Amino acid sequence: MLAQSVLVLALLRAPTAGIAAGRAWWFVTVWLSTTFWWLFIALHTYGGLPALLGVIAIVALAAALGLYYAMAAWAFWRWHHVRPMVAALCFAALWTAAELARGTWLTGFGWGAVGYAHLDGPLAWYLPWVGSYGVGLLAAWGAASIALLVLRRGVVSFGLAACVLVFPLLAPPAWNTWTQPSGTLSVTLLQGNIPQDEKFEPGSGVPLALQWYAEQLQQSNTALVVAPETAVPLLPQQLPEGYWSALEQHFVHGKSTAIIGIPLGSYTQGYTNSVLALAPGQKEPWRYDKHHLVPFGEFIPPLFKWFTRMMNIPLGDFNRGPLGQPSLPVAGERVAPNICYEDLYGEELASRFTDAALAPTVFANVSNLGWFNDSIALDQHLNISRARALEFQRPFVRATNTGATAILDYQAVVQQALPRLTRGVLVGEVQGRTGVTPFAWWAARFGLWPLWVVCLLLIAAAWRLGRRTR
């Protein structure tokens, strides 16, 4: 919030709207470049892209996304002379509109949004109400109010923003408890730590993954065992004879349910990044196909074939699974898998809450962050899951190839975790939850449109008042 306040001060002191836009563009380009710098590891270390081109690609992505904020800063400077309260809300609305655009347009990449910086502070109280983008709006309002106060303006706005920060510290816990326990589920989470440069190699990573995951899956005796994204790195038809049937027989006639990351499909039908679930008494596997695909990783945008040809990464165009796929029943709980960075999109996870009786009681994320080594990407992704846990008041279990493999409760507290970059098995329990938070209710029905409407109304009010005062 303080960094945002410095930005607002810089915008308010800019002599022209163009200079204000330029300052915001530089600020955001640096911020985003340092937020997802770890993309360089995937592009250069594992993709073989020349280092200079890797740096240029990351800065270019940050700069392109920064244009949303530059336009917001331009508009804010044009209208900042309105009443301080309106000016502060105008900045919050414009900033949030830029965040929403970055996180949704052109498939969206909202990684590092401001809302994720407030998971352990008082603003986290509002996540079950307004989601991470709504918390980002409140933080931007507070930042603008601080900046205006420094300029000896906006005492009322600062006072109201301070009340928003203090209220969660005084409110009884019952005022923000929307879910109830539904039962306890024993879980086993597998972390194979297969080196990324060997993961898809037939002479090293592939046989190691097949052997280790098969052994651990069959040794597990908890109600649910989860193996990460592409834990089985081959299509079913490419597996050694008898490999998959042995797993099917074990779980169909056993007491545990297994969620296993595996690619599916064929050249003629297309491919999907999927998980299959093998459950007691179920002859046919349960299936979930990833809905939100990664640009350049799982689909190649038009006009960018030349870029992907320069990298030695198994890329392709995957088929997209439907939104709001049903949950997996496990020992009385409803488990909702999501793959990789799908948990970045809370509005898409919310689509499963349209019918409260069928809503998930536990979320399960399967990921492979081996592309990014021991970088901050692992911590950032853990925080993304924590934000979703708070928004929906649901526990999260995370099974990853290299980390962070962890069990989160419905209050986003990490109950157990494996050390990153190690091979290990995490056994624990998770308490499922029923009930629907306000955010889950409105996002399931309207997506992020309510926030868009609030932002556009505030922007329109600032524009109208700005015209009157000129």
* Mean local confidence (pLDDT), 280-309: 78
Tens of pLDDT, residues 37-76:
999 999 999 888 999 999 999 999 999 999 999 999 999 9
Same domain, 242 and 389: yes
Which of residues 201 and 264 earns the better pLDDT score? 264
Q: What is the pLDDT of residue 441?
A: 98
Catalytic option among 333, 340, 342, 391: 340
Rounded Cα distance, 323 and 21, in Å: 37
Overall average pLDDT of the 393-403 stretch: 96
pLDDT tens track for 139-183: 999 999 999 999 988 899 999 999 999 999 999 999 999 999 999
Flag whether 426 is in a domain.
Answer: yes
Structural domain count of the chain? 2
Nearest to 387 by CA among 437, 457, 322: 437
Q: Is residue 229 flagged as an active site residue?
A: yes
Q: Are residues 287 and 355 in the same domain?
A: yes
131 and 253 part of one domain: no
Bond into 92 cis (ω within 30): no
In sequence order, what DSSP letters do the residues of 371-400 get, joined into one string? Answer: GG-SSHHHHHHHHHHHHHHHHHT--EEEEE
In a domain, 441, yes or no: no
Low-confidence winner among 80-84, 175-179, 206-210, 301-305 (lowest mean pLDDT): 301-305
Are residue 369 and residue 250 in the same domain, yes or no?
Answer: yes
Indicate whether 268 belongs to any domain. Answer: yes
Residue in 229, 333, 342, 347 annotated catalytic: 229
pLDDT at residue 311 is higher than 60: no
277 occurs within a structural domain: yes
Beta bridge partners of 398: 365, 406
Is 255 part of the annotated catalytic residue set? no
pLDDT of residue 302: 61
Is 290 considered catalytic here?
A: yes
* Residue 139 and residue 216 in one domain: no
**Residue 306: per-residue pLDDT:** 52
Do 169 and 237 reside in the same domain of the chain? no
Rg over CA atoms, the chain:
23
Residue 24 has pLDDT above 70, yes or no: yes
197 and 168, same structural domain? no
Per-residue pLDDT band for 275 (boundaries 50, 70, 90) equals very high
Does residue 442 sit within a domain? no
Instruction: State the pLDDT at residue 86.
Output: 92
| Together in a domain, 156 and 249 | no
Question: Would you state the pLDDT for residue 294?
Answer: 84
**Residues sharing a CB contact under 8 Å with residue 268, sequence separation 6 or more, in sequence order:** none
- What is the rounded average pLDDT of the residues 215-243? 96
Structure tokens at 457: 């109304």
Q: How many CB atoms lie under 10 A from the CB of residue 294?
A: 17
In this prediction, residues 256-282 reach a mean pLDDT of 94
Out of 90, 290, 333, 348, pick the active-site residue: 290
Same-domain status, 327 and 186: yes
**Helix (H/G/I), strand (E/B), else coil: 80:** coil
In this structure, the answer to whether residues 386 and 329 fall within a common structural domain is: yes
Domain encompassing residue 151: 2-175+449-468
136 part of a folded domain = yes
7 falls within a domain: yes
Predicted local distance difference test score (pLDDT) of residue 315? 47
Distance (Å, whole) CA 48 – CA 55: 13
Q: Are residues 73 and 167 in the same domain?
A: yes
What mean pLDDT comes out for the span 330-343?
A: 97
Asked if 277 and 259 count as a contact pair (C-beta separation under 8 A), the reply is yes
DSSP structure string for 81-139: TS-HHHHHHHHHHHHHHHHHHHHHGGG---TT-GGGGGTTSGGGGGHHHHHHHHHHHHH
Average of per-residue pLDDT across 296-316: 58
Q: Report the CATH number at residue 210.
A: 3.60.110.10
88 assigned to some structural domain: yes
Res 280: pLDDT: 96
SS3 content of the chain, % helix, strand, coil (to 5): 50, 15, 30
Task: Annotate 319-333 with b (16+ C-beta within 10 A) or e (fewer).
Answer: bbbeebbebbebbeb
Range among 77-86, 137-146, 316-325 rated most confident: 137-146
Residues 289 and 384 reside in one and the same domain: yes
| pLDDT above 60 (res 250) | yes
Average pLDDT over all residues of the chain: 93
Q: To which residue do tokens 């409260």 refer?
A: 356
